[in-house]
Structure 1
Amino acid sequence: MAGPPPDGQPAPDDGRLPESALARLGERGFGIYVHVPFCAARCGYCDFNTYTPGELGSAGRTDADSWLEAALAEVDLAGTVLGGAPGGLPRVDTVFVGGGTPTLLPPDHLARVLGRIDDVFGLATDAEVTTEANPESVDPTSLAALRAAGFTRVSLGMQSARSHVLAVLDRRHTPGRAVQAAQEARGAGFAHVNLDLIYGTPGETDEDWAASLEAVAAGGVDHVSAYALIVEDGTRLARQIARGVLPAPDDDVLADRYLMADTALSALGLHWYEVSNWAADEAARCRHNELYWRSGDWWGVGPGAHSHAGGVRWWNVRHPARYADRLAGKTSPAQAREVLEAEDRRVEDVLLRLRLADGLPLPVLDDAGRAAAAQAVADGLLDPAAHRGGQAVLTLRGRLLADAVVRALLP
């Protein structure tokens, strides 16, 4: 179960935003995130705001139809709230449907939400529309239906190509299913397909990780995300490690696995554009995630979804039944919010944009930060040529130590 959100400030029942936020709306792009909180089973490492049938029980408005009704109502609410911006409603550049497992829902449910977004806001002609999917939750028919509905990109949770690693992670698909699903997505007409990988699982060997990277090649994908396993408090995995049933991930092993990933993915023609993401070319990058990394604006639809507009961040109530009840009562589902000061936004710019291969403009840093950047160049953590051009760009070694570089740049 997800940890508690921050306390924040009270959010208005009608969802209204300060005029100052509306005035800046869409300056760095605008997208919509849709959270589907349902999963068939809970993975042992996951602390996302998701619910299995057993966790939801039979009471309350928790089924897929009530989620759909509430999500459509929140899209309408977003249109009303943001319609007060001086420039009117922003166009939607990206839509990302995440979870949970969105593809547990019928394709028609996801199509209806996308259609309502288009009706209320209008999708840009080149809008990127992504859905996450577990490999076992899609087939050629459902993928074809999603593509026909307007989805342009699918992100598949592969995690590993080894059965014993999948077992530790409590993943339900067979080792080869993710690659097969990626091939099916290509066959359904998806130009952009991503595979998500996790490295550093207890019991995973170098050979296991190499096999996962080799399997990616068979999928014919143009994007790969590879993340180090993080042991989140409150998860089954954390409890197993605390009891000594499983060993904790080793930082040195994680660094070695990252280097293996960068070498293997580069050989496949996939190049890093964010610390944990590789793409075949600029068109293959996940534009929705780039919106986050560049501190753009987005409205988060769904239980527990987070939003950001013009320096105001807010988050919805987490339980699906409470979320649906709030919207059925014509009340915003926002639980609380925070208004970011200029310094808060600058710090977030450093935290997020430094992770990008495009880099962080040096003028974002203060005097002490720029001095630290110069030292990071001398230490081999920032690229010297990019630095001369006014950007802070991580070297390969810098990517391994990205958190330390950020701390140095924010003295």
Structure 2
Amino acid sequence: MAGALPDGEPVPPDGSLPDDATRDVGANGFAVYVHVPFCASRCGYCDFNTYTAGELGGGASRDEYASTVLRELDLAAKVIQPGRVDTVFVGGGTPTLLSPSDLGRILEGIDRTWGLSSGAEVTTEANPESVDPAGLRALRSAGFTRISLGMQSSAAHVLRVLDRKHTAGRAPQAAIEAREAGFEHVNLDLIYGTPGETEEDFARSLRTVVDAGVDHVSAYALIVEDGTRMAGRMRRGELPYPSDDVAADRYLAAEETLAGAGFQWYEVSNWAKKDGECRHNLLYWTGADWWGLGPGAHSHVGGVRWWNVKHPATYAGRLDDGVSPGHGRELLTAGDRHVEDVMLRVRLREGIALDRVDRPAAARALAGGLLEPAAYDAGRLVLTLRGRLLADAVIRDVVP
């Protein structure tokens, strides 16, 4: 389970927002995130707001979860009317521990409340072992257009270190089944730099995702979060800590293999084939509004960010009482929003206009080979491959 939430300022009992926050809601796009906090077991590296059956305790029911989320949606409808929903993303946890009919009920509720735009992207995450061909067909029939599968690695020994429960071959097979079920877009997630992973292990994982026929790949370096089982094993000396040099080598291997297979990076950790970009994440990264449904979910509308209480039982109890499940919120200043916009857009292939960053710092990054010269001459900051390896450092320097 994730750490404690910040307090922020209180959220009004009815969840209402300042008038200036709702005036132009959805002008830059509107997304809905639905958090499903259930997992069959806990992966050793995970610090997300998720709960196994033994961790839930009383007052929280997976069977009633869809109805609980729909009650928050009823509250949300009284707060904002964005006009349409461009994307929906159901994440977790393991959303597909809910039945396709329950996930479909939530999607129907979103459409009934705010209206899905024509051609809306609708994604669910899934663990490979939590789906089968019949369930995938049911999800597709319910209106889901995209699925993101947590593969992490094709090496069995790496999956064991990560405490993943699926077999090495299950993720690519699930991706193939999703395509056969009619999903327009399929993503496979990879984690690199796990203790014990070899260069050949990762090369094989990359070949596996390419051969699976997906149109999107997310690849992230292993991050060891405090409080996780993996962090404890490393403190005790049972596992070595990840190596930054190894992570850089893995990233270069990912770029070489994926680019050679027709993928193009569009965010530092994400590659897609033509028209395969995750539109939901792009809305996050380009300053859109979104409402997050579910325990621990975060939302952002018009410069107001808020976050729900974490535990599913507390979340359900708030809604049973007819009050917002919001734990706290913050009102972002124009300066706050500008800094966040720079931090996110620098990571994108399109980059950001030079007049929005610190120009002397950008000039130093250009001289260091971290920025594309042609883009710079055209007035934009765009990372080179080397710049992507050092993206965090570039961002720290160019934030004005």
TM-score (norm 1): 0.96
Is 1:244 aligned to residue 244 of structure 2? no
How far has the Cα of 1:377 moved from its partner? 1.1
C-alpha displacement of 1:90: 2.8
Which residue of 281, 288, 302 corresponds with 1:289?
281
Q: Does 1:163 align with 2:130?
A: no
Q: Distance in 2 between matches of 1:364 and 1:70?
A: 42
Which residue type is aligned with residue 290 of structure 1? L
Q: Which amino acid aligns with 1:192?
A: H
Q: Which amino acid aligns with 1:33?
A: Y
CA distance in 2, matches of 1:401, 1:296: 26
Counterpart of 1:358 (choices 350, 354, 377) is 350
**Structure 1 residue matching 2:255: 3-state secondary structure:** helix
| CA shift for structure 1 position 101 | 0.1
1:381 aligns with 2:370: yes
Q: Secondary structure of the residue that 2:48 maps to in structure 1? A: coil
The aligned residue for residue 300 of structure 1 is 292
**Residue 20 of structure 1, CA deviation:** 1.0
Distance in 2 between residues matched to 1:7 and 1:347, nearest whole Å: 22
Match of 2:136 in 1: 143
Alpha-carbon distance, 1:68 to partner:
1.2
The answer on 1:5 being equivalent to 2:12 is no
The percent identity for this pair of structures is: 65
> Is 1:174–2:167 an aligned residue pair?
yes
Task: Provide the residue aligned with 1:209 in structure 2.
Answer: 202
Q: How does 1:365-404 map to 2 (within 5 A)?
A: 365=357, 369-404=358-393
Indicate the residue corresponding to 1:49 in structure 2: 49
Equivalent pairs counted in the alignment come to: 400
The aligned amino acid for 1:341 is T
What SS does the corresponding residue of 2:266 show, helix, strand or coil?
Answer: strand
1:86 paired residue number = none
- CA distance in 1 between counterparts of 2:203 and 2:195 reads 15
Secondary structure of the corresponding residue to residue 183 of structure 1: helix
Distance 2:209 2:390 in 1: 26
Report whether the alignment pairs 1:106 with 2:104: no
How much has 1:28 moved relative to structure 2? 1.8
* Deviates further, 383-392 or 136-145: 383-392
Provide the secondary structure at the position in 1 that maps to 2:64. Answer: helix
Q: What do residues 46-86 of structure 1 show as CA deviations (whole Å, max 9, x unaligned)?
A: 000000001113x21x1123221110011111111003xxx
1:163, 1:248 → 2: CA distance? Answer: 20
1:318 to 289, 310, 313: 310
SS in 2 for 1:4: coil
Q: Does 1:341 align with 2:333?
A: yes
Structure 1 letter corresponding to 2:83 = P
Q: Distance in 2 between matches of 1:124 and 1:158?
A: 30
How far 1:331 sits from its partner (Å)?
A: 0.4
TM-score normalised by L of structure 2:
0.99
1:67 maps onto 2:65 in alignment? yes
Return the alpha-carbon distance in structure 2 between the equivalents of residues 20 and 129 of structure 1.
29
| Equivalent in the alignment of 2:184 | 191
Residue ranges of structure 2 left out of the alignment (5+ in a row): none
One-letter amino acid matched to 1:301: L
**Structure 1 residue 3, shift from structure 2 partner:** 1.2
Amino acid at match of 1:142: G
Distance (Å, rounded) in 2 between the aligned partners of 1:397 and 1:118: 43
List 4+ stretches of structure 1 deviating above 2 A: none
CA distance in 2, matches of 1:20, 1:387: 36
What secondary structure does 2:349 align onto? coil
What root-mean-square deviation, in Å, do the aligned CA atoms of Structure 1 and Structure 2 show? 0.8
1:373 alignment partner AA: A
Residue 364 of structure 1: CA displacement?
A: 1.8
1:91–1:124 CA contact under 8 A, matched in 2: yes
Letter in 2 for 1:372: A
Structure 1 distance, partners of 2:249, 2:33, is 33
Partner of 1:288, secondary structure, is helix
- The one-letter amino acid of 1:302's match is G
User: Unpaired segments of 5 or more residues in structure 1?
Assistant: 84-88
Q: Distance in 2 between matches of 1:38 and 1:5?
A: 19
Contact (CA 8 Å) 1:223, 1:278: kept in 2 or not?
yes
In the alignment, is the contact (CA less than 8 A) between 1:66 and 1:324 conserved in 2? no
Quote the offset at 1:410 in angstroms. Answer: 2.1
